[in-house]
Amino acid sequence: RDEDDDDDGDRALAAPLNAPRLLLAPSRAACLEVDEEPPRRRRSDLESRPSLSSRQSSERAPRLVCSHKLFGHRRPITSLAYSATLDLVVSGADDGACCLHSARSGRFVRRLDRCCQAPLDCLELLDASCEFVAHATETRELALLTLNAKRRARIRAGAPDGSGGRYVVVRATRDAAHLVCAALDAPSLDIRTAADLALARTLHLGPRYAAPLALSLAPNDTHLFVATTDGALLVLSDPKSPLHQLDAALNSTVLGSIWETPFA
């Protein structure tokens, strides 16, 4: 629904510059867009008589306006994922439910109950396959669902003794073939096949580096950037990539370490 009011309790989340901004509030999400129109001057502004240069600067400056507030959750929202390709916002709540909205129109698409049995901590949209992955660290659940609410796979990650399987972030490759999962309490990355969520391999960062904190994939999937809790930034590259020789030249720079092992 279109609304012009804003809420002081909303907290901004990062988004691409050419995409709608997302706001996360206790039980709703909101989209922000850049308004190129100059702000209206009030009577007090005219009375203060600012200089000509300051008036021109303020009139040209774009501002963020709330274009939509997205409703559908009954519990606090705990995670968000956005896809510019699909024009979708997926929001997850602490009751395990997900809601899908169109980001640009604000249209409610559908609600999916009980994606996991615990609060959803990670969401990732797979553009190529029109699916999304939901993860709950409390129960170590990983669920793969289609945008039409069909469950493709659901597993309990980690070892049978309860160790591992808790992820701080999940990222998908561009072709939606693999998932890179950063372990919450261990210096390792789990590489899983997206089709069935099966574990393909584990990359151990320790003992030299600490547990991963954030992940980012290059657009062509040849580079994986990993930030760790001890302040390191690792650049993992595939030796088969034509850019591998360029990466080798960066090994001694502030960008971090180059791993000569494929991550998928």
Amino acid at 227: A
Whether 108 has a pLDDT exceeding 50, the answer reads: yes
The residue ranking higher by pLDDT, 258 or 220, is: 220
Residue 241 burial class via C-beta count within 10 angstroms: exposed 0-12, middle 13-18, buried 19 and up = middle
Band (pLDDT 50/70/90 cuts) for residue 112 is: very high
Longest Cα pair distance anywhere in the chain, in angstroms?
Answer: 71
First to last CA, the chain: 41
User: CA 105 → CA 73, 88, 111, 264, distances in Å?
Assistant: 18, 10, 17, 36
Q: How wide is the angle at C-alpha 225 spanned by C-alphas 220 and 227, nearest 5°? A: 160
pLDDT score of 48 more than 50:
no
142 pLDDT more than 70: yes
150-172 average pLDDT score: 90
Q: What percent of the chain has pLDDT over 70?
A: 67
219-228 per-residue burial string, b: 16 or more CB within 10 A, e: under 16: eebbbbebbb
pLDDT of residue 54: 53
- Residue 226: the pLDDT is 92
Q: For residue 141, with 0-12 CB atoms within 10 Å meaning exposed, 13-18 middle and 19 or more buried, which class applies? A: buried
pLDDT band with cut points at 50, 70 and 90 for residue 59: low
Alpha helices in the chain (DSSP H): 43-48, 52-60, 244-249
pLDDT reading at 82 higher than 50 = yes
35 band by pLDDT with thresholds 50, 70 and 90 = low
| pLDDT score of 43 | 45
Q: What is the mean pLDDT of the segment spanning 209-220? A: 89
Between 23-37, 39-53, 77-91, 188-202, the lowest mean confidence (pLDDT) is in 39-53
- Judge residue 18's burial from the number of C-beta atoms within 10 Å of its C-beta, 0-12 exposed, 13-18 middle, 19 or more buried: exposed
Better pLDDT: 237 or 30: 237
